[in-house]
């Protein structure tokens, strides 16, 4: 109804302008200044409608595709009304991601994964430049030969017996054994390439915010807004964002670590950058900002001023 009303107003304004202008050319306007004012008012209304329509279209384009969640449901595998697909349900050779209220974590509790990381990707159409951010839950942290990793996915695709795309992972501890890695998944189970492995950095504390971005061919990893890893790779030009987890060396610890919030976007934005650690809170406040808001507001105010 809003679209029809918008179109009808445009048509009405155009007809009014056209009729009055035609009348002027034919010499039928008898009240010169008054009819001229009527023409001007009609043109202002048409300009207002067109400019507000432009503002709306710009906002839709700028907002792009996004998904934000704090995992309110108990689901195995995660779905959120069809917004997610999973590594076992679709890929067959990997495991799924599951949720309890306030937490997403891997469905594999075996501790012997053979690289079949629980994986979930968002559905829908996503532009190539992507930002993924999540708040980490990490309790009972492990070291030595026990590995617990949280993973952010970029430009990824799941089909039967294949997962491709980029993985940005963080080991869930903060001692000398901590690391972060940017990995390219090449398709079949166990076929992956480490693009850059980093062992220096702040580590992961409970409540930290991790972020991964891909812009063009540049992939960057952050912890609480501080860059900790970066690499370039142009193998995959498209795909969807998502998340994953890895557990090795201990059984039944898969719920000790995961994500309490998750957001993904394919538009340029500055997301909440986290807090200085150590942090012991189970979550963190987060939000998105659109740097174009000021421009949209200025255009809207200008359009409204034409109708005065």
Mean pLDDT of the chain: 80
Question: Among candidates 181, 203, 199, which has minimal Cα distance to 279?
Answer: 203
**Element spanning 181, H or E:** strand 180-187
- DSSP lists the bridge partners of residue 164 as 157, 186
pLDDT tens column, 16-56: 544 433 444 444 445 555 665 664 565 665 565 555 555 44
- DSSP lists the bridge partners of residue 97 as 106
Position 270 pLDDT exceeds 90: no
Cα separation, 284 vs 140, in Å, equals 19
Is 186:193 a contact under the CB 8 Å cutoff?
Answer: yes
Is 224:238 a contact under the CB 8 Å cutoff?
Answer: no
Distance of CA 116 to the CA centre of its chain: 24
Which region, left, alpha or beta, applies to residue 249 given φ > 0 means left and ψ of -120 to 50 means alpha? left
Query: How crowded is the C-beta side of 172, counted as CA atoms within 13 Å?
Result: 29
pTM of the model: 0.72
| Whole-angstrom Cα Rg for the chain | 26
52 φ, ψ to 5°? -65, -35
Is 239:101 a contact under the CB 8 Å cutoff?
Answer: no
Residue 163 burial class via C-beta count within 10 angstroms: exposed 0-12, middle 13-18, buried 19 and up: buried
pLDDT tens column, 123-157: 999 999 999 999 999 999 999 999 999 999 999 99
Tokens of 289: 């900002």
Share of the chain above pLDDT 90, in %: 65
Is 191:94 a contact under the CB 8 Å cutoff?
Answer: no
Position 250 pLDDT exceeds 90: yes
pLDDT, average across residues 185-202: 98
For residue 276, the 8-state DSSP code is P
Is 130:86 a contact under the CB 8 Å cutoff?
Answer: no
The residue with tokens 């930002």 is: 131
pLDDT value of residue 217: 98
């Amino acid at each position: 109804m809003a679209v029809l009303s918008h179109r009808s107003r445009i048509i009405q304004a155009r007809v009014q302008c056209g009729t009055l202008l035609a009348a002027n050319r034919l010499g039928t306007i008898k009240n010169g200044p008054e009819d001229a004012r009527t023409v001007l008012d009609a043109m202002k209304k048409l300009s207002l409608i067109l400019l507000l329509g432009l503002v709306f279209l710009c906002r839709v384009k700028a907002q792009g595709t996004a998904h934000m969640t704090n995992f309110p449901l108990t689901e195995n595998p995660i779905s959120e009304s069809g917004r997610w697909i999973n590594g076992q349900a679709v890929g067959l050779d990997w495991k799924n991601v599951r949720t309890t209220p306030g937490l997403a974590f891997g469905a594999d509790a075996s501790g012997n994964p053979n690289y079949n990381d629980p994986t979930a990707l968002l559905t829908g159409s996503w532009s190539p430049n992507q930002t993924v951010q999540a708040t980490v839950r990490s309790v009972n942290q492990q070291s030595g030969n026990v590995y617990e990793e949280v993973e952010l996915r970029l430009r990824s695709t799941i089909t039967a017996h294949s997962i491709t795309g980029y993985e940005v992972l963080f080991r869930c501890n903060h001692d000398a054994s901590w690391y972060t890695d940017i990995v390219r998944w090449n398709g079949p189970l166990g076929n992956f390439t480490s693009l850059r492995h980093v062992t220096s950095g702040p580590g992961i504390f409970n409540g930290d915010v991790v972020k991964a971005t891909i812009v063009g061919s540049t992939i960057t990893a952050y912890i609480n807004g501080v860059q900790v890893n970066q690499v370039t790779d142009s193998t995959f030009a498209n795909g969807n964002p998502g998340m994953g987890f890895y557990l090795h060396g201990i059984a039944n610890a898969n719920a000790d670590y995961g994500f309490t919030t998750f957001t993904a976007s394919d538009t340029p934005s500055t997301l909440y950058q986290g807090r200085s650690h150590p942090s012991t809170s189970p979550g963190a406040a987060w939000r998105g900002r659109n740097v174009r808001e000021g421009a949209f507001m200025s255009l809207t105010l200008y359009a409204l001023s034409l109708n005065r």
